[in-house]
Structure 1
């Protein structure tokens, strides 16, 4: 068994990534249904604190520019790299810093969560930025409709016109906080007037009836093309997938949809979902007896081979944030000492478990 001992995090200069400045920590916004006030892009989000934050973006709101370092970090599968777990832990800790540096930590966490396919945390961070509409205007279009990170965002949160064939990577819309975590939570988000060169398209995400559907239609202008796939749904697996009612294999592929003035109805990409058989870990409140026991006993990540640098970094990050011992142990060496065990030996579930752990730890540390 390999023990992850308390030690300084890897030397990633967070202060070089988070810009300095002054500001105040925002309060959580009131739940509401909202659409942006931009004269260009119109985005309807379901009732949620994140929707309330988006509603505070006005047509003259100038979005913050993303630091070049963020784009370089996030542009290509960042969570496959050990350093991302280290950066994530440092960024979570940096949210406690007063002023603009704390706000920027929240902004970076929004994008890190989206890149990790953790929509719940991404929208929680958007909601926490409600008193900084400049950050909300910069972030939300990169979540829904999911424009590329390097896209210029204009006043009011309107993306600059995209090139024909650009891939959109929307995340699942924010959930109603009153719906239990295990439920699918039917909801919709709609985007109007998203520009592709000389064309404009509409996009809708509909989660209902055991599936998630992405609807795209040409709003105005000549034919254009959009690359897309249905948003990832934590806790669910894609069972079957249909493009305009024709079954697709394999599921989860990126499709290039051509939108023309002759289309009589919206193009449809639909994924039928199946509940994943996954025990989602949760982090207990700080003052609960379970938390006290966990502080004394710690946690074991069960693996089926020698630990990779990525899992070593993940365990170190979890330990730094939870302030409890975190071990990595192969299945044959797991100690029977009452520690919380997270089984990462199943390759079909291990990544979902890591995502769930990150979500849970953020919620525990940041007390959303």
Structure 2
């Protein structure tokens, strides 16, 4: 039984002999955190192939304090057996069985509690209506093979993304682990995540659902086999995309933004349009993903003021003054994304002497000097037709200062 020293002691003694001072077995463990809810206790015994009979004549249990002592006069009588057998059962069989029982119950309880803690999730009453969109942590843990590094797809500013295969449906998914430090606004955030999960467009990565755990939020997306676009633009070891492939991806992302801004039942502001958030499917179509920062509002209404979030160098200048994310701020980010794709450069490129140059400033400078084609990705120098409908020269002209003056 448990004493105030948080020890579990097992003692054995003949039935009419007082309990020994020195226990047969002793375990230092605090069970107060384990035996909290209803507990089911059973008895089991075995001696292998030998035919025997085991009897539990009585037992005493107390959560806090001293367990009630046995009143031997009130114990039931054993079934008729020989005098020697009866004596052995009373003096040896019963204490040993009780000791084995206590150790078995303690071991099983400990294992069950560890299992529950391992897969513990946070459930709120208001989440009941979002049930179909919620995944169990256990399924995601198994799907990603314990979130091992071998399944890691990428690391971003808001979490790590792992590849997974759901154990029941065998569907390939991407699981993003996002940390959150408080519950403030989590209800509204989950509501928006579930709403975004209803989006259906060929150029948007499908958000399948979420899992809320203590200190952590997991978002589950469709898996894109070719990964994110930035791997093809900036990773030297990856194969380079042709201009036609890039132009197809650009049109796909533009189509997805039109759907988010104008065609869905609500206006969806992505707030983080960039190459690393554009996924490439098996047919080399661009799909806009990662809606962890997205916000929704009704058509015909004004978006509420919010914190300035997103990725530096993709944030529209007016965001720092108004704090309002709008369709226009998404379009500004899309413009930075266009230059990324065409130039094969990041919005801010580090230079010598710890200096850096903004991609937009560099492109405008080249345009003013009449050498706009020098800004193209070097791998595209012989991969376009000057003046054609999808030629890169014509495409740059669409975004020139003269065109929009």
TM-score tier, shorter chain, comes to: under 0.3
Could you state the TM-score of these two structures normalised by the residue count of structure 2?
Answer: 0.22
Could you state the TM-score of these two structures normalised by the residue count of structure 1?
Answer: 0.24
Q: Which has the higher strand share?
A: 1
Higher relative contact order (CA 8 A, sep 6+): 1
Q: Which has the higher helix share?
A: 2
Q: Which has the larger radius of gyration?
A: 2
